[in-house]
């Protein structure tokens, strides 16, 4: 499938929490090609030194020809994206990456941490309506929390205090979970992979990206006996295939 490079105006923007920005961009053709798990390389359409690199950002929502991206401000690139207002330009390359496989099972658990929330939120909206889906999300504090079923924070300012993985064993046992999807920081994903061994588990990995389009191999991760590129072969992998010890 072809990858597009475009500059488009932001058609809507809001601040769901301090330090986060949701950007809406309209493009019917691109929106129709987005499936959960995919991401775009984005950057603000500005000429300044701090804003020279594209940043990988997951598709958060798709609605009536528009795509939404939820960006957390962490460094210069994401700060420039978070400052965008309706009418400002954004440069996009995408859609990139593969997709979460959609399996028709009854009890599904979604586990997200930090900016792992946007792709799992999009995934939830696309799962079969016959499935029972529980979305568990964790963040550092209440300002990292967004709508879902069960929340926890490291400082206890929203939901239960602790890490999202603390809640997983009881949620799995009480809800007969048959399938897990996850996205978040690598330590969280590593711990989760150990906990849910034996249950089908698909994980979207975060990695530092340079080119973002499969050329530089800078985002390679150990999968089976080889290395795979998160940007091109992923970001979604079967957790059972990842060599978690080497990651
Ligand atoms: C496939 C994919 C999808 C992503 N989706 C989203 C999303 O939907 N929303 C969102 O806000 N962010 C998302 N990210 C993370 C986002 O790309 C980074 O936060 C962003 O590139 C940081 O760029 P910066 O210039 O703002 O900060 P930088 O100056 O590059 O870094 C600031 C800080 O963030 C850390 N950091 C940067 N990139 C990463 C990374 N990939 N993993 C772990 N730590 C990192 C750096 O070590 C540094 O401490 C995604 C990343 C990937 C790989
Ligand atoms: S970032 Fe260059 S190959 Fe993935």
The CA-atom distances, in angstroms, between 139 and each of 114, 142, 151, 164, 185 are 5, 7, 8, 8, 11
| Cβ 217 under 6 angstroms from ligand 2 | yes
- pLDDT, tens digit, for every residue of 38-70? 999 999 998 776 677 899 999 999 999 999 999
Residue to mutate (ligand 2; options 56, 96, 217, 227; most atoms within 8 A of CB): 217
Residues with CB under 6 A from ligand 1: 39, 55-58, 70-72, 74-78, 115, 118, 206-209, 235
Residue to mutate (ligand 1; options 54, 70, 72, 75; most atoms within 8 A of CB): 75
Q: What is the pLDDT of residue 50?
A: 66
* CA 69/CA 100 separation, integer angstroms: 17
* Residue 76 alpha carbon to ligand 2 centre in Å: 20
CATH of 4-96, one of 3.40.50.720, 2.40.30.10, 3.30.160.270, 3.40.50.970: 2.40.30.10
Residue 172 pLDDT greater than 90, yes or no: yes
For the record, the structure tokens of 192 come out as: 């989760």
Residue 137 pLDDT greater than 90, yes or no: yes
Q: What is the pLDDT of residue 146?
A: 96
Residue 1 pLDDT greater than 80, yes or no: no
* Residue 55 alpha carbon to ligand 1 centre in Å: 7
Q: What is the pLDDT of residue 174?
A: 95
DSSP string, 101-166: -----SEEEEEEEGGGHHHHHHHHHHS-TTSEEEEEEEESSGGG--S-SEEEETTSSSSEES-HHH
Q: Please answer whether residues 19 and 72 qualify as being in contact, where contact means their C-beta atoms are separated by less than 8 angstroms.
A: yes
| Cβ 219 under 6 angstroms from ligand 2 | yes
* CA 226/CA 245 separation, integer angstroms: 14
Q: What is the mean predicted confidence (pLDDT) over 214-237?
A: 94
CATH of 107-241, one of 3.40.50.80, 3.10.105.10, 3.20.20.80, 2.60.40.10: 3.40.50.80
- pLDDT, tens digit, for every residue of 205-222? 999 898 889 999 999 999
Maximum pairwise Cα distance, the chain: 53
Q: What is the mean predicted confidence (pLDDT) over 84-88?
A: 96
Q: What is the pLDDT of residue 48?
A: 74
Q: What is the mean predicted confidence (pLDDT) over 191-204?
A: 95
* CA 1/CA 31 separation, integer angstroms: 14
- pLDDT, tens digit, for every residue of 98-112? 999 999 899 999 999
Q: What is the mean predicted confidence (pLDDT) over 6-31?
A: 97
For the chain, domain boundaries: 4-96, 107-241
Q: What is the mean predicted confidence (pLDDT) over 171-197?
A: 95
């Amino acid at each position: 499938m072809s990858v597009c490079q475009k500059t488009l105006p932001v058609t809507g923007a809001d601040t769901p929490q301090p330090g986060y920005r949701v950007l809406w961009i309209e493009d019917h053709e691109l929106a129709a090609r987005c499936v959960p798990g995919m991401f775009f390389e984005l950057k603000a359409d500005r000429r300044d030194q701090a804003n020279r690199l594209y940043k990988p950002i997951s598709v958060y929502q798709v609605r009536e020809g528009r795509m939404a991206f939820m960006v957390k401000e962490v460094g210069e690139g994401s700060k420039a994206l978070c400052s965008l207002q309706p009418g400002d330009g954004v440069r996009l390359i995408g859609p990139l990456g593969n997709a979460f496989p959609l399996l028709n099972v009854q009890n599904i658990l979604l586990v997200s941490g930090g900016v792992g929330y946007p792709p799992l939120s999009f995934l939830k909206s696309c799962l079969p309506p016959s499935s029972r889906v529980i979305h568990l999300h964790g963040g550092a504090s209440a300002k990292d929390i967004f709508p879902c079923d069960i929340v926890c924070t490291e400082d206890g300012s929203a939901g239960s205090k602790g890490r999202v993985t603390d809640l997983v064993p009881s949620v799995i046992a009480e809800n007969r979970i048959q399938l897990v999807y996850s996205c978040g920081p690598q330590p969280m994903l590593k711990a989760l992979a150990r906990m849910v061994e034996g249950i089908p588990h698909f994980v979207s990995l975060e990695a530092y990206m340079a080119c973002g389009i499969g050329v530089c191999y800078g985002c390679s991760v150990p999968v089976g006996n080889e290395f795979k590129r998160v940007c091109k072969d992923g970001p979604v992998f079967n957790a059972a295939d990842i060599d978690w010890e080497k990651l």
